[in-house]
């Protein structure tokens, strides 16, 4: 069954007070269940407005982030069609169940490249959701953790390679993100916390070191 975890972008003004955000300002981002669908809505608040909320619905997830004005969309000719970031965005928008593993691997790759940061994890009846925020644009990706086992690593790695470039091998930079390192680990199939480090595990599934709030 499809899960409506589409991309959410940061707002330009506070959802409570209507005050416009300033570049570099600390704000509170929050995701709420969407009453008109089975998905989620993102709202952003000033720190003061968030603290003054009374009797409001509890968010599904929230975190403090730094506001930066949304970046201008790249021209079509400047976008690399099979770039991991572009591919992740497309797969999240399509929400096809069979790409669940690939979406997770791509998110971890982009986290390693410091393009995404994991802001939160939430448990739902069907598994664990990891919330990622794009450091520059503020886009939010809600990614289900498929709890990939060691026996499936090679297959998922090949799946991601084929999605990035069906006709040729992956480039050196992408391959480096997919090959094992001493710091790699995978997720425990019954526990949302990573297993101890193992040099045989894939770098794309390495233990996440969630950044401190900037």
3-state secondary structure the chain: CCCCCCCECCCCECCCCCCECCCCCEEEEEEEECCCCCCEEEEEEEHHHHHCCCCCCCCCEEEEEECCCCCCCCCHHHCCCCCHHHHHHHHHHHCCHHHHHHHHHHHHHHHHCCCEEEEEEEEECCEEEEEEEECCCCCEEEEEECCCCHHHHHHHHHHHHHHHCCCCCCCHHHHHHHCECCCCCCECCCCCCECCCCCCCEHHHCCCCCCCCC
User: Residue 44: its pLDDT value, please?
Assistant: 94
User: Residue 99: its pLDDT value, please?
Assistant: 87
User: Residue 190: its pLDDT value, please?
Assistant: 33
- What residues contact 44, with CB distance under 8 A and at least 6 apart? 10, 11, 13, 14, 15, 21, 27, 28, 29, 30, 67
User: Residue 57: its pLDDT value, please?
Assistant: 83
CB 202 within 8 A of CB 184: yes
Supply φ then ψ for residue 98, to 5 degrees: -75, -10
Strand order in the sheet with 127-134: 116-124, 127-134, 140-145
User: Residue 181: its pLDDT value, please?
Assistant: 36
Q: What Cα–Cα distance (Å) separates residue 202 from each residue in 29, 98, 161, 205, 212? A: 32, 20, 14, 5, 24
Counting as low any pLDDT under 50, the low residues of the chain are 1-2, 74-80, 168-172, 174-175, 178-204, 206-214
User: Residue 5: its pLDDT value, please?
Assistant: 58
Whether the CA torsion 149, 150, 155, 158 is positive or negative: it is positive
């Amino acid at each position: 069954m499809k899960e409506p975890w589409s991309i959410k972008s940061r707002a330009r003004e506070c959802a409570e007070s209507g005050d416009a955000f300033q570049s570099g300002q600390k704000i509170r981002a929050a995701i709420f269940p969407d009453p008109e669908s089975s998905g989620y809505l993102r709202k952003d608040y000033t720190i003061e407005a968030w603290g003054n909320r009374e009797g409001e619905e509890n968010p599904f997830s929230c975190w403090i982030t730094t506001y930066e004005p949304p970046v201008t969309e790249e021209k079509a000719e400047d976008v690399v069609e099979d770039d991991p970031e572009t591919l992740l965005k497309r797969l999240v928008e399509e929400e096809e169940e069979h790409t669940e593993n690939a979406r997770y691997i791509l998110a971890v790759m982009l986290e390693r490249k410091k393009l995404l940061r994991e802001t939160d994890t939430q448990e739902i009846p069907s598994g664990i959701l990891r919330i990622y925020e794009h450091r520059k644009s503020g886009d939010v990706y809600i990614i289900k953790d498929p709890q990939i086992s060691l026996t499936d690593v090679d297959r998922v790695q090949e799946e991601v390679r084929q999605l990035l470039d069906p006709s040729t091998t992956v480039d050196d930079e992408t391959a480096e993100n997919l090959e094992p390192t001493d710091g790699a680990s995978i997720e425990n199939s019954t526990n949302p916390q990573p297993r101890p480090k193992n040099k045989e595990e894939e770098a794309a599934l390495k233990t996440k070191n969630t950044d401190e709030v900037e």
